[in-house]
Chain A
Amino acid sequence: MREFLNQWMPIDASAHGHQVDDLIVLTHWLMAVLFVVWGAYFLFCLYRFNAKRHPRADYIGARTHVSTYGELGVAVVEVVLLAGLSIPAWYKWTHLPQKDKNPIEIHVVAEQFAWNIHYPGPDGVFGRSDPKLMSSTNPLGLDPKDPNAKDDIVTLNNLHLPVNRAAVIHVTSKDVIHSFKLPVMRSEQDAIPGMDVPIHFTPIKTNDNGDRWEIACAQLCGLGHYRMRGQLFVHGAAEFDKWMKSAPTAFATQ
C-alpha cells in the first residue's frame, strides 16, 4: 500500500511526516479491505441472485450476523487509528518544541498573492510591525525606529530553512484567509488574519541538489490564488548560515 500510494505522494522530507503517511497508509488499508470484501460479496450477489438464476426471492434473506461483527470490527480499527495514531500525532503537532531544542523561529505573513517571510535576524528578536506602515517596500510594516527591526530579514516567497533543526513558523495573514501548505513537509496551516498560529516541523532532507520544493496556497484567496506560490529551500547548516549572512536586511534598500 505504501508503495502504491507513494506513486503519487510527494517525497516526505520532515521528521513527523512518516506519522501522517503511516496514518494515510493504514486508513487506506482499512478502506481497501472494506472495499474488496464488500465488492466481492456484491458481485457474487449480482451473479447468484440474478432473477434468471433465482426466480423466487427468499423472504428472510441473510440469516447471519456477520455484518454486525464487521461493523464492530470497523469501529475497533477506527478507534485504533484515532487513539493510537491520529490523536497522539496531533498532540505533537500542536505542541511546540522546547526552547532548548533551539528551534528557528520565523513569521510568515500571507497577502494576496504572496508570502512574506520574516526572520528575526542575528538578534533573534522580531521588530515591531504596524499595519499603518505597510507599503510595497515595507510589506510587513516594520517600524524603522525599532532597533529590533534593523537586522530583521524579510524575503518574498522564499523560505530558507536549515536541515535537522526544528522550525517554528508563525502563520498569519494581512488580508484574507490563505493556507500555508508545504507538501514535502506534510505541513499545512490556514493563514488567518487576526490570528497568529505557530506550527513546527523539522526538515530532515535538503534540496541543495536543486529539487524544487514549494509553498502552496491551499485556500481560495482571490483571483491570484492559483499562482500564489513560494519556494522552500532546505540547506545544510553551513549553507544556511551563508545564506543568512548574505540576505539583505529589512531596510537595506532604504
Chain B
Amino acid sequence: MALKRQVRVGNQWMYARDAWRTLEEARRVTLEEERLQQQHELPFIRKYVFSTDHKVIGLQYGFTALCFLLLGFCLMILMRLQLGWPGQAFSVMKLIGAMRAPGGVLLPEAYNQLGAMHGTIMIFLGIVPLAVGAFGNYLVPLQIGAPDMAFPKLNMASYWCYFVGGVIMLSSFFYSGGTANSGWTSYPPLSDIATHGQTFWLCGMVFLITSSLLGSVNFLVTIIQLRAKGMTLMRFPFFVWAQFVTSFLLLLAFPPLEAAAVLQMMDRLAGTSFFLPSGLVVSGQVLPNAGGGNPLLWQHLFWFLAHPEVYVLILPAMGIIAEIIANNTRKPLWGYRSMVGAVIFLGFMSFVVWAHHMFLTGMGTVISAFFQTTTMIISIPSVIVLSALFISLWGGSIRFNTPMLFALAFLPMFGIGGLTGLPLGLATADLHLHDTYYVIGHFHYVVAPGTIFAMFAGVYYWFPKISGRRLNEFWGKVHFWISLVCINGIFFPMFMQGLAGVSRRLYDGGIQYAHAKAIAEQTNPFMSVCAIGLLCAQVPFLINFFYNAILALLGRRNEIANQNPWQATTLEWAATTSPPLGHGNFEVIPVVYRGPYEYSLPDSATDWTPQNQESVEPALPPGGGMLPEVAVAQREM
C-alpha cells in the first residue's frame, strides 16, 4: 500500500517506492560530503565537542565512562581499606577531606556515602554508558551499514544529558552535607530524611534517565530503519540484537524510576509523604509530614527499573563476547537463532521478576511463588546463551589473543555469578542469604569479571578499528592474568561471608558481630589486598591505552593494525577503513549478502567471508584489501 502512494507536498513529489533511491542519494551525498569535509573542516568544537557523528559521540561516551569506572573503583579502594583494616588511618583517605576521614580514619557516614556513590557510579555512570553509549553508539551503525544514527542531534543531546547528570552526581562530593548515602537503592524513609546529597542524586538520575531514553529511542529507530540493503534481522551480528533488546529495556524500564524520582523529590522538597507512613519518629522527633504513604511503593518502582537494568548491564556484554568468540574460534556461533530467541525472551521476562529483591518485605506465599517461578524461568535463557557460547568453542580454531582471553574468562565468571543467582531466587534460601555478602558476591561476579571483562575485551578488540593501532599484546596479557587472579580473590570469599550471614553495607565489615567476626577477620584483609592488586593490574592497561591512543591521535599507525587485523566478517571491519571515514562511515553503503559469522565456509579459500562479499570464492574481500600473505602471517599471531 505504502508502495503505491504518491503524495504531493508543497512543490515536491514524494514517491514512497523510491525510498531506496533516497538511500542511494544519501550515499552520494556522503561521498560529496567527505570531499567537502576534507576541504573545509568543521570547527573543532563542532567536530569533537558538540559533534553529531555517532563515532565521536561514542568515543566521548567511552572516555567519560571509563573515567567514571576508574573513579568508582578508587572509591571502592578506600572502602576496601576500611573493610580490610577497620578503623586504621590511611593517608590516602585524607584525599576525601577531613570531614569525611578526620586524621585518615574513614567515618561511618562517609563509608555510606562512598558505598552509595560506588554503586551509582559503576552502574549508571560507568557500565551503562560504556556498554550502550560507547560500544553501541560506535558499532551499531557500522555493523548494520548505516551512515549514522537516525537522529544525530538527539544523540548529541543524549551524551550531554549524561554528562550533566554525571557532573551533578559528582558535585555532591563537594557539597558540605556530602553525597547521597542511602545506598544505590535509595530506600525511603532513609533517603527521604537524608542530607541534600540525596537531592543531587535524584536530579542527577533524572538527567541520566533522560539521556538513556533519548539514546534508546535513537538505537531502536536506527536498527529498525537504517539497515543496509540485505541486512535482514537474522543477519544481524549478535551484538546488534543485544543492543536492540537492551534499548527496549531502557525505554520501558526507566520511566517508572523517573516517576519514583519525581515522587521522592516531592517528598524531600515539597513535604509530601508518598513514601512516609504516618507516625514516624526519627531520633525522638515525630516527623511533621502528613503521612499515609508507603515505603514499599518506592521499592516496587525502583526494582521495576533495576531488575531490567541488570540485564542492561549484561546483554551488551554478551553481545561483545559473542562477536569476539565467533571471530577467534573462526567459526559461526553455534545456535545463533536460539540465542536471539533467548535474549528476546529474557527481555520480556525481565519485567516480571522485580520483586525477587523484596522477598523479605513480608511477602505472602502466592506472590512469592509467582516471583520465584519467573526468576527460575528467566535463568533458562541465560543458560541457553551461555551454553551456545560454550558449544561454539567446539570444533573451532581458537586464537588466544587478549580480547579472546577476556572473552573466554567471561564465560565461567558469568557462570559463577549467574549460578549464585539461583539460591537467591528461591525465597526460602534467600531467607538466609538476603542482604548478605552472598548477594554482593553474586552480582559482582556478573558485573565485574563478567561485564567489566567484556568491556575490556571490547576495548582490546575494537581499539584497532577506532585508532588504527593495536594495543600491545604482551601488556594486555599481563593485564588479563593479574586481573583475573585478583578479581577472584576479592569476590570469591564474599560467598563464604554471605553463607556465614555477614550483612552487606557494614562499615567495619562485620567484626562486631559474633557470627561474622571470625570470617571477616580471616578474609577481609586478603580481599582488600586483592583489590589493591587489581588496581595495580590496571596500570599496564592505562599505559597501553594512553600510549597507543596518543600515537594514534598523532597519526601514527602500527603495521599490524591493518584494515581488519582480526579478519572479521562483520561490516564494521569488512566495509570500512580503520579508523573509519569521518561522518558518513562508508565510501559506499555496503550491501549484505550473508550472515554475520561466515567463518571457515567449506568452499572458501580463506577462513572468513565478509557479510558484504557477494560470492564465496574470491579470497580477497572488497573492503579489507589485504594480501593473502599478510592474512596468513596474521593468523600465526
Using a CB–CB cutoff of 8 Å, the interface residues on chain A facing chain B are: 5, 7-10, 19-21, 23-24, 27-28, 30-31, 34-35, 38-39, 41-42, 45-46, 49-51, 54-62, 67, 70-71, 74-75, 78-79, 81-82, 85-87, 89-91, 93-95, 111-112, 131-132, 134-136, 141, 174-177, 179, 181, 183-184, 186-190, 192-195, 197, 212-214, 216-227, 229
B344-374 Cβ-contact flags toward A at 8 Å (1 or 0): 0000000000000000111111001100110
CB <8 Å contact, A132 and B286: yes
CB <8 Å contact, A193 and B280: yes
Stretch in contact with the other chain, from B46-54, B155-163, B252-260, B409-417 = B409-417
CB <8 Å contact, A10 and B280: no
Name 11 A/B residue pairs within 8 A (Cβ), A-sorted. A8-B499, A54-B398, A131-B281, A174-B281, A186-B431, A192-B361, A213-B514, A213-B515, A216-B516, A223-B109, A225-B108
Residues of chain B lying within 8 A (CB to CB) of residue A175 = 189, 193, 280-283
B436 contacts A by Cβ under 8 Å: yes
Residues of chain B lying within 8 A (CB to CB) of residue A219 = 187, 435
| Chain B: minimal CB distance from A121 (Å) | 23
Residues of chain B lying within 8 A (CB to CB) of residue A7 = 496
B491-535 Cβ-contact flags toward A at 8 Å (1 or 0): 000001101110111111010111110010000000000000000
CB-based nearest B residue for A183: B501
Q: How far is the CA of A112 from the CA of B281 in the complex (A)?
A: 10
CB <8 Å contact, B361 and A190: yes
CB <8 Å contact, A192 and B394: no
Residues of chain A lying within 8 A (CB to CB) of residue B165 = none
B408 contacts A by Cβ under 8 Å: yes
Stretch in contact with the other chain, from B382-390, B474-482, B578-586 = B382-390
B468 contacts A by Cβ under 8 Å: no
CB-based nearest A residue for B391: A62
Residue of A31, A188, A195 most packed against chain B (CB within 10 A): A188
Q: How far is the CA of A28 from the CA of B506 in the complex (A)?
A: 26
Instruction: Contacts A188-B431, A197-B362 known; list 15 others, CB within 8 Å.
Output: A23-B423, A34-B419, A38-B415, A45-B396, A49-B329, A51-B397, A61-B394, A71-B387, A141-B281, A179-B435, A183-B515, A188-B435, A216-B513, A220-B183, A229-B512
| Chain B: minimal CB distance from A51 (Å) | 5
Q: How far is the CA of A75 from the CA of B383 in the complex (A)?
A: 10
CB-based nearest A residue for B369: A87
CB <8 Å contact, B428 and A93: yes
B600 contacts A by Cβ under 8 Å: yes
Residues of chain A lying within 8 A (CB to CB) of residue B331 = 57-59, 61
CB-based nearest B residue for A24: B429
B576 contacts A by Cβ under 8 Å: no
| Chain B: minimal CB distance from A194 (Å) | 3
Residues of chain A lying within 8 A (CB to CB) of residue B188 = 176
Q: How far is the CA of A130 from the CA of B599 in the complex (A)?
A: 74
B428-444 Cβ-contact flags toward A at 8 Å (1 or 0): 11011111100000000
| Chain A: minimal CB distance from B423 (Å) | 4
Contact partner, A224, options B108, B335, B376, Cβ 8 Å: B108
CB <8 Å contact, A61 and B187: no
B392 contacts A by Cβ under 8 Å: yes
Q: How far is the CA of A56 from the CA of B396 in the complex (A)?
A: 8
Q: Taking A42-B390, A190-B362, A193-B277 as contacts, is the C-beta distance between A10 and B503 under 8 angstroms?
A: no
